[in-house]
Structure 1
Amino acid sequence: MSRRERLLATGLPRVLGHADFEAQNLRWQDGRLWTVHDWDSLAWQPEAALVGAASGMFAGSGQPTLAPIESSQAFLAAYQEARGRAFTGEEREVAWAASLWTAAHNARYEALYGHTPVSGDAVRAQAAERLRRANA
């Protein structure tokens, strides 16, 4: 099963959320998230998909790349703790599949326009493990 097939196979309910959770779109005050910019990036997806996508991109502040797997794992754990409920097995799989969304898009852009393959290299290095966690 591919990443796309895994995401399409879910029957999880959809929510409206922000789908471009890169560092440059976030502002913090006193150690707490204060505001989120770039609201033209709304998506109607399962909560786990939005959170998973954020876990893959939240650290990006320069040329976009993919967060290290350990950072994505920590992001997902912190999110679940803050919401007071652990993800189900299906939600975990969807989150890991979605963690590749933005990096795959950015890798395509790098290849098309001859940019340094920062996201492309990260996807090549991490995709197998992220897809294993996604059961895809």
Structure 2
Amino acid sequence: MLVRDAMSTVVLTIGPDHTLRQAARLMSARRVGAAVVLDPDTSGIGILTERDVLASVGRGQDPDAERAGSHTTSDVVFAAPQWTLTDAATAMAQGGFRHLVVLDEREPVGIVSVRDIINCWTPVVGSVGAA
């Protein structure tokens, strides 16, 4: 199975000047754990995850004052739609992260998460703990 088969094509994109609260609201409304941060000044692509927001709040920072650009991971590892899920899982395990931005011809076309991969690899047989 390939990344294109598992990735979410709902790509939330925000700018670096969004506050963390705005980013969290948008992520919550879309039910996604990460936002792609596009910076028009640098033409760069970054990622802001729920973990980044949580770490900021945990440090006592104000989510209405903190900007996404200050908490964005800019050394992003990108996946290609034709990667295998094993390739994606290996990149996540080696990098210690849970989301990969999927690029097709340098444009973000999706995000694949650990949950997406698990959902593909694990058949849903019933509720957890059912006998």
**TM over 0.5, shorter chain:** no
Q: Which has the higher helix share?
A: 1
| Larger Cα-atom Rg | 2
In terms of fraction of residues, the more strand-rich structure is: 2
